[in-house]
Amino acid sequence: MPLSLTKNSLEGQLEQMQSAFETIRHKAQDYEQHEKGTIAKLYATLTDLYSFGETIRAAMDEDGNPLTQQFIIHRGGKWNRPAQANPYIALLGLTFSGLSAPLKSQYAQVLHHAHRTNVPVKDFGRWLIAGNGIKGRLEEATELTGGTARQINAKARLSRLAHAKSLLSGGPRSTPVSLPVATTHKGFATVLVEIDGNNNASILRVLDTEDSRIDPLLLKLEPGTATALDMSAQRPLGRLHRAINLILSLIDIRGLSDVHIRIVNRMERGRSICCVQAVATTYSYMWAGFVLEGHLPMLPVNHILALDMSGAQDFQSSFAQFEDWDILAGTAGYALVAASPLTKTIALSSLPSDKGFRVGAPIAIGEDAFTLDQARTGDVLAFIDQWRADTKRQNAQRKILRQSPRRLAMRLSHGGLQLVRDDAPNIMTDFLSTKRRNGFAEPRWLAVADVERVCRTFGTHECDATGWFMDSDVADAALQFTAVFMAADGTQDVLTLLLPTVISNGMHYAQCCADI
């Protein structure tokens, strides 16, 4: 029988999951013990596992963690990055004991493909057979994942080339000179020149005019990741995806309770905007929110909708694999829907009314401003990595072990804010530029994990930020960052990030959030 979670407690639900899963394992063992059995036994086992997996993927515990995670860990499985992206990787390992790793990987891909394309549980068996079995559905999954990715990569490459050529064409250049050998070529080329040391150069030979040789040189002038992200934001609902992707990259999802993404169209001083924000029941946390210019389609003004963490992560990960995203309204409510290559639906819902949600409380303007240069983020990450390496090396030489780095002290120095190792006050790195002169009234630290997420995210998006120190019930409660993402048509989306300071040895955050 299909799994039905009727008990309220986590222990009771785990007990129900254990019972249902043992039935699936017995089927898997029967298949393996009879010389891998018949294909019908395999399909029946996979059908039951798909039903089981989809049921527990849709359920959350009291802290907002997926029951999938709880069950896999309870069974001794690994809840690592691959399993988080595709839980069937872990579930297949727990189900079959005699299958090879490549086979389990293939089956996991097929089950995840069914999940991404919203195959109903009751139709899974027929869907599998109609698609030429495991082999056919595996090829389909591979093509779906790779095809759209290749299209996006190709578009991103063309965008990078166009931007690099634009930079060169609009930049400084010498006066035209005659080539040593006449040519009809028009465009970019690589040439060998001789420079005389007095700011003069002579062209000796044209080396290449082929695009295949020139393009790799042009691409070096235009960083790739940020351009691909900008290209993605130009797709339908791409700006919403960028906002959600950045929010999930910045906040500590695992450390929050009942985290959701709140979405609401508003009118602000006659201007149409859409607010996309993290909300959680946690008292104070690293918070991020976006103000998108213009309204999202179909959503009424001031009508609050939300994505739970399962839906938000689904949209974050599946956006690139599907096209023609839109928001549709139906009898069941609003949903994010993709039309091709297959239909994909992610439901929008209301925030649970029985929860007390809190949201970041940024200030309009502060006195002590600062600037984050994304070019520094790599140095900060390297600084933290070196600290971890030092700690690991020192622990190997000690009888008493020191814990992994958790917090960084803040120090003002010569127009900048430095981050200082908690174990070595003489070792520091530059983080922010600021004209602030007054020191901190009380010791203030930043959590290492928070700083890493800030640096990785802003570095990946090649985005600078400005901001100021924010006071709440205590001085210097948080660092408030603002970053602007501008589209080619002049549309501006604004990210606000609150990075709370740590105010105790117990890693407690200063308060930077408020009740909704």
Q: Render pLDDT for 184-225 as a digit per residue (tens, 0 to 9).
A: 888 899 999 999 999 899 999 999 888 878 887 887 676 556
- State the pLDDT at residue 151: 54
Q: What confidence tier does 486 reach under pLDDT thresholds 50, 70, 90? A: confident
Instruction: Using the Cα atoms of residue 72, residue 73, residue 75 and residue 81 in order, give the sign of their dihedral.
Output: positive
- State the pLDDT at residue 400: 65
More confident residue, 399 or 325: 325
Q: Please state the rounded mean pLDDT for residues 68-96.
A: 87
Quick check: 226 pLDDT over 70? no
Average pLDDT in the chain:
87
Residue type, 441: A
Residue with tokens 């393009």: 215
Q: What percent of the chain has pLDDT over 70?
A: 93
- State the pLDDT at residue 342: 81
Q: Please provide the DSSP assignment of 108-165 as one string.
A: HHHHHHHHHTT--GGGHHHHHHHTTHHHHHHHHHHHHHHHHHHHHHHHHHHHHHHHHH
Q: Render pLDDT for 323-357 as a digit per residue (tens, 0 to 9).
A: 889 999 888 889 999 988 788 899 999 999 999 99
Q: Render pLDDT for 246-292 as a digit per residue (tens, 0 to 9).
A: 999 999 988 898 999 999 999 988 889 999 999 999 999 999 999 99
- State the pLDDT at residue 34: 72
Q: Please state the rounded mean pLDDT for residues 365-391.
A: 89
Q: Render pLDDT for 94-111 as a digit per residue (tens, 0 to 9).
A: 999 888 888 888 899 899
Of residues 88, 74, 67, the one with CA closest to residue 24: 88
Which part of the chain has CATH 3.10.150?
A: 245-302+353-516
- Asked which of 49-63, 272-286, 426-440, 467-481 is least confident by mean pLDDT, the reply is 49-63
How far apart, in whole angstroms, are the C-alpha atoms of residue 117 and residue 342?
7
Q: What confidence tier does 149 reach under pLDDT thresholds 50, 70, 90? A: very low
Residues 501, 513 contacting (CB under 8 angstroms) = no
Q: What percent of the chain has pLDDT over 90?
A: 44
Longest C-alpha distance within the chain, in Å?
A: 85
Separation of first and last alpha carbons in the chain = 42
**Domain formed by 245-302+353-516, architecture:** Roll (3.10)
Instruction: Using the Cα atoms of residue 448, residue 452, residue 453 and residue 458 in order, give the sign of their dihedral.
Output: positive
Q: How many helices (H) and strands (E) does the chain have?
A: 14, 19
Q: What confidence tier does 445 reach under pLDDT thresholds 50, 70, 90? A: very high
Q: Render pLDDT for 5-23 as a digit per residue (tens, 0 to 9).
A: 777 788 888 888 898 999 9
- State the pLDDT at residue 223: 59
